[in-house]
Amino acid sequence: MTSISDENGAGHPLLEATGLTKIFGSLKACDGIDLTIGTGEIHALLGENGAGKSTLVKMLFGALQPTSGEIGWKGKAVAVANPAMARSLGIGMVFQHFSLFDALTAAENIALSLDEKTDLNTIAAKARDIGRTYGLPVDPDALVGDLSVGERQRIEIIRCLLQNPDLIILDEPTSVLTPQEADLLFVTLERLKSEGKSILYISHRLEEVRRLCDRATVLRHGKVVGQCDPRQETAGSLARMMVGSDIHVIERRPNAAPATQSALIEVNGLSQKPRGPFSVSLHDIRLAVNPGEILGIAGVAGNGQGELFEAISGEVLQERPDIVRIRGRDTGRSGISARRRLGAAFVPEERLGHGAVPNMSLTDNLLLSRYATDGKVFLGGGLLRLLQQSSLALAAKRIVAQMDVRKSAENPDASALSGGNLQKFLIGRELDRNPAVLVVNQPTWGVDAGAAAHIRQALVDLARSGSAVIVISQDLDELFEISDRIAAMVHGRLSQSVPIEAMNMERVGLMMGGADTASAHASTGAA
């Protein structure tokens, strides 16, 4: 490789990318990108879903090879052949989609990522030490499959820090964290910066970018369209740089549904034992959502939100049919398909593996979720088979157009989409049915500002059309923007819901801390 500096790289940036280009078939995902990161700098990488951010950082980490361009590291041009070489150089990365094995412990997952063989007890001890040092508590002996998304992210960050990198690439690190957890992460990142570490920070949460980052590079359609000091910008001006126009403001029309109508979704005294050694038990949960309204459910990760979603969706059946009621029907003993046939729809927290099969096409994933409700259209043989393929293709095109899903092929595998674009497709897949009941867990996780506004408006519009919507989210700004009432999950209990007019950040923080769960537990009425 050609040297571009002295041996130690003195006086040069830590990393310098010049003209980085990546072409997939006819798609130019990255087009001549220049990027410079200094030592001890937190540098934001901003852009819409599909702007080229993930492709760029995968090239920097060696997971993809550039079609053209050059990467300079500590003053020398390098070819980052693979992630192992990136780690040996001092580049670490925490991906948006976690690369953890559910059946292994946290320590075992960390061991798999290390390039040198290390005793598990030593790894566990180091993980605990790093967790304590940087405010990232983790149980090394916990099975990953029983951990919340927030806890899994801590494992990813800890195993990155165990490699002692000079540059840490973080892809949407706060997308699954509460504001309190994000604050702790920011303290960790500031400490790393003070120790001379550099951080390339990808996030759609623009206020945290303004708070945390020293510089920002903005991508649009694979090209650099701007660089700035985010502290001198507003969230609005950063968003305009990303999307090229103003962000849609959510319109919340008054609920026109008659107050006398019966609840479309009810949970009556839901109690459930832990399904694994590290899962959360549920205690006497009660809620009811009427036509035309959105119930927002807040909570710190790992307080039973996932278990609640599983119970409402039918992934876990209940002892009594009347524990869950959909449109007046007892469904506690009915599975997902039966609940879908009653007009319910569900979007889980984890996109790949839960919401979609990674190596199946978009149309096949659409078929998996719709065969129970649209079987006459989507299933059959002979001529019906041809009609099935045509109907699926038309439905997929309709969803792609309505949700502005950006993709590199006509019918790609789910794993080929960026996280935000896959999320838009999964939300659109359920909205396309115009369901009477929609339950969605983390609707805008890892989604850019423009797409998040689109999704939130679609949820509001669905509710105002007469449907009942439950939104489980760790994004409090999101809940305040779209909810009619907010409740909070804490230690497997659901607080009383509070009308949005009477809610503020301080009150929801107290609810998330457990201040209201005692009264909710004692109540016999719906939340």
Q: Mark which of 245, 280, 305 sits at the end of a domain.
A: 245
Q: Are residues 219 and 331 in the same domain?
A: no
- Check pLDDT > 70 for residue 520: no
Q: Is residue 182 part of a domain?
A: no
Residues belonging to the chain: 527
Mean pLDDT of the chain: 87
Q: Name 118's Cβ contacts closer than 8 Å, sequence gap at least 6.
A: 111
Give me 504's structure tokens: 């503020």
Lowest pLDDT segment from 52-61, 193-202, 356-365, 374-383: 374-383
Q: Are residues 291 and 218 in the same domain?
A: no
**Is-contact 425 417, C-beta < 8 A?**
yes
Lowest pLDDT segment from 137-146, 169-178, 426-435, 498-507: 169-178
Q: Mark which of 245, 280, 309 sits at the end of a domain.
A: 245
Q: Is residue 396 part of a domain?
A: no
Backbone phi, then psi, for 326, in 5-degree steps?
-125, 120
In this predicted model, which residue has the larger pLDDT, 194 or 450? 194
- Check pLDDT > 70 for residue 193: yes
* Distances from the Cα of 81 to the Cα of 155, 159, 295, angstroms: 25, 21, 48
Average pLDDT over residues 283-288: 97
Exposed e or buried b per residue across 168-177, where buried means at least 16 C-beta atoms within 10 angstroms of its C-beta: bbbbbbbbbb
Q: 62: alpha, beta or left, given left = phi > 0 and alpha = psi -120 to 50?
A: left
Q: Are residues 326 and 276 in the same domain?
A: yes
* Domain interval for residue 39: 1-83+197-245
Q: Is residue 235 part of a domain?
A: yes
Q: Is residue 386 part of a domain?
A: no
**Residue 222: which CATH number?**
3.40.50.300
- Report the percent of the chain where pLDDT is more than 90: 59
Q: pLDDT class for 462, splitting at 50, 70, 90?
A: very high
Q: Are residues 13 and 73 in the same domain?
A: yes
* Cα–Cα distance measured from residue 485 to residue 469, given in angstroms and rounded to the nearest whole number: 11
Q: What is the pLDDT of residue 7?
A: 38
Work out how many domains the chain is built from and give that number: 2
Would you give the end-to-end CA distance of the chain in angstroms? 65
Give me 18's structure tokens: 């010049």
- Whether the pTM exceeds 0.75: the reply is no
Q: Is residue 468 part of a domain?
A: yes
Q: Is residue 137 part of a domain?
A: no
Longest C-alpha distance within the chain, in Å? 77
- Check pLDDT > 50 for residue 256: yes
Q: What is the pLDDT of residue 278?
A: 62
Q: pLDDT class for 8, splitting at 50, 70, 90?
A: very low
Q: What is the pLDDT of residue 6?
A: 37
Residue whose C-alpha is closest to residue 296's, from 512, 89, 88: 512
Q: Is residue 265 within a helix (H) or strand (E), and if so which, with residue range?
A: strand 265-272
Provide the CA 468 distance to its chain's centre, in angstroms: 23
- The residue with tokens 């094995």 is 101
Average pLDDT over residues 197-217: 93
3 state DSSP class of 129: helix
Q: How many CA atoms lie within 13 A of 51 on its CB side?
A: 27
In this predicted model, which residue has the larger pLDDT, 153 or 492? 492
Q: Are residues 335 and 203 in the same domain?
A: no
Q: Is residue 404 part of a domain?
A: no
Q: pLDDT class for 387, splitting at 50, 70, 90?
A: low
**Is-contact 487 495, C-beta < 8 A?**
yes
Q: Mark which of 245, 272, 303 sits at the end of a domain.
A: 245
Q: Is residue 136 part of a domain?
A: no
3 state DSSP class of 220: strand
